Amino acid sequence: MALSGVEIFKMLPKTNCKKCGHPTCLAFAMKLAQRQISIDACPDVSEDAKKILGEAAAPPIRPVTFGAGDKAVKMGEETVLFRHDKKFLNPTVFALEIKDTASEDEINKKVEAVATSEIDRVGQKLRIDAILVENASNDSGKFESAVKSIAAKAPEVPLILSTPDPAAAEAAVKAVADKKPLLYGANESNAEAMANIAKTYKVPLGVYAKGLEAISAFTAKIKGLGVEDMVIDSGARKAKEILEDNTLIRRAATKKTFKPLGYPVINFIQRDDSMVEALMTVLGVAKYASIIVISNADRWKNLATFALRQNIYTDPQVPMQVEQKIYKLGEPTPESPLLITTNFSLTYFIVLGEAENSKVPCRLAVMDTEGLSVLTSWAAGKFTASKIAQFIKDSGIENEISHRELIIPGYVALLSGSIEEKLPGWKVTVGPREANALPVFLKSRA
């Protein structure tokens, strides 16, 4: 159970010695309760208190990483049920399933699809993060060679090795141990052997038991066998079960600090109907899956599910921003209109969309207002006449266009005079207040 500031305070020396950098022990306790500082900053706290506080401070969902290098993926550490309470931390890992029964050609195609899946969206690189190799053949030799071949073709992609057979598991894990794969996994009948492999090769272990009661008991058993890093599978496969199990796991872990369920969750959501698979991905991303195993990497599906994951995992407290620059819409000529707006991503997207819908080629100057919308940034003094004038001057746009007319958002109409004063030779035109009036506005000028 998370401790309150006052509960923590009772365990501190109460000397107000300031060695931790805080004026009082109570202030330090409050920081501890908010998990903003470590207990190690207090040099005088007792070992007993340290142990209790250390356990209480541990994230309710254990951080687990697999893969090696830059593309290793981290899961867990989530503390809340709703993104409006606190940012969801480690985005759901998308793992493409490749069966070891697939032909060389099919395997190559899938590996290629993962390797080329990366898309840049609002400044983030989004991709299929991992490959799950499924021992569908039940043949350990075949599994090992598939794993080796995939690891050679996609050396940086984190791997999940999926087999219930300890012999197959050991051979495959051994072959790629340096890549720190996730081994999936342990079940009631192979627990000791699988736990041993995970310990020997220092890889995280996926564990399976049907239902939440069984999986709770099972993670305790695996922990008893010496494996700490686990990813759990409660056997949920249908949407209803996934929603319920994932929600109850997250609740038990974060609200009840129920340690046996405090692990990242893996969901298998493969469907023959790709569109339904996309929607199952939505469910998993929105409702607490740490890994989602998918059957294909169709580009259209990737784009939609990447965007969804990005939306759900953005920080609701920090506005998404786009890069400050002058964007070209269509193929503008030197005569095309020049519009200005702020760099709040939502503002940018809406203005961009409407301006594009007008089919009138134009330039959109997007000014850095620290991610604030037009009215908010104006009120905050970040979208002012002098700043706008400076931005236009510094942008070098005067060399690219033949006219000197700037279209400003209707909400800041009152800036038009002062911008003209600060930008000699320029004419400022007041555009519409709402972006949805842009198509009519732009077309009427064309």
- Residues that bind another protein in the complex, under the rule CB under 8 A: 82-84, 119, 121, 212-213, 216-217, 220, 238-240, 243-244, 247-248, 251-252, 255-256, 258-261, 273-276, 278-280, 282-283, 286-287, 298-305, 307-308, 310-312, 314, 316, 346, 349-350, 353-354, 356-357, 437, 440
Cβ closer to another protein: 166 or 260? 260
Rounded alpha-carbon distances, angstroms, from residue 125 to 122, 129, 250, 345: 9, 11, 27, 16
Beta carbon of residue 235, minimum distance to another protein (angstroms, whole number):
14
CB of 146 to another protein, least distance (A): 26
Nearest approach in angstroms of CB 325 to another protein is 18
| Residue 37 CB, nearest approach to another protein (Å) | 28
Residue of 233, 240, 243 whose CA lies nearest to 285:
243
Cis-peptide, bond into residue 431, ω within 30° of zero: no
37 or 303: CB nearest another protein: 303
Beta carbon nearer to another protein, 201 or 258: 258
If the CB atoms of residues 151 and 351 are measured against another protein, the closer one turns out to be 351
Residue bearing tokens 């200005």: 340
Which residues, at least 6 apart from 117, have a Cβ–Cβ distance to it below 8 Å? 127, 128, 297, 299, 302
226 three-class SS: coil
Q: Decide whether 17 or 346 has the Cβ nearer to another protein.
A: 346
CB closer to another protein, 135 vs 267: 267
Run of H or E including 134: strand 130-134
Of 290 and 373, CB closest to another protein: 373
Q: Are strands 182-186 and 205-208 parallel, antiparallel or unpaired?
A: parallel
Kindly state the smallest distance separating residue 210's Cβ from another protein, in Å: 13
By beta-carbon proximity to another protein, the closer residue of 40 and 213 is: 213
Report the alpha-carbon distance of residue 205 to residue 194 in Å, rounded.
8
**Beta carbon nearer to another protein, 55 or 335:** 55
Least Å distance between CB 439 and another protein? Answer: 9
What DSSP character marks residue 344?
A: B
Residue 38: partners with Cβ closer than 8 Å, 6 or more residues away: 57
Residue 349 CB partners (closer than 8 Å, separation 6+): none
Identify whether the C-beta of residue 352 lies closer than 8 Å to the C-beta of residue 311: no
- Sequence letter at residue 186: A
Least distance to another protein from the beta carbon of 18, Å?
39
CB 13, min distance to another protein, A: 31
Alpha carbons 430 and 408: distance in angstroms, whole number: 5
d(C-alpha 195, C-alpha 429), whole Å: 70
- Identity of the residue, 163 or 302, whose beta carbon is nearer to another protein in the bound complex: 302
Distance CA 391, CA 140 (A): 63
**DSSP characters over 98-109:** EETTS-HHHHHH
Residues in contact with 71: Cβ distance below 8 Å, sequence separation at least 6, in sequence order: 129, 156, 157, 158
Q: Peptide bond before 371: cis, by omega within 30 degrees of 0?
A: no
CB of 84 to another protein, least distance (A): 4
Other Cβ atoms less than 10 A from the Cβ of 300: the count is: 10
Closest CB 275 distance from another protein, rounded Å: 4
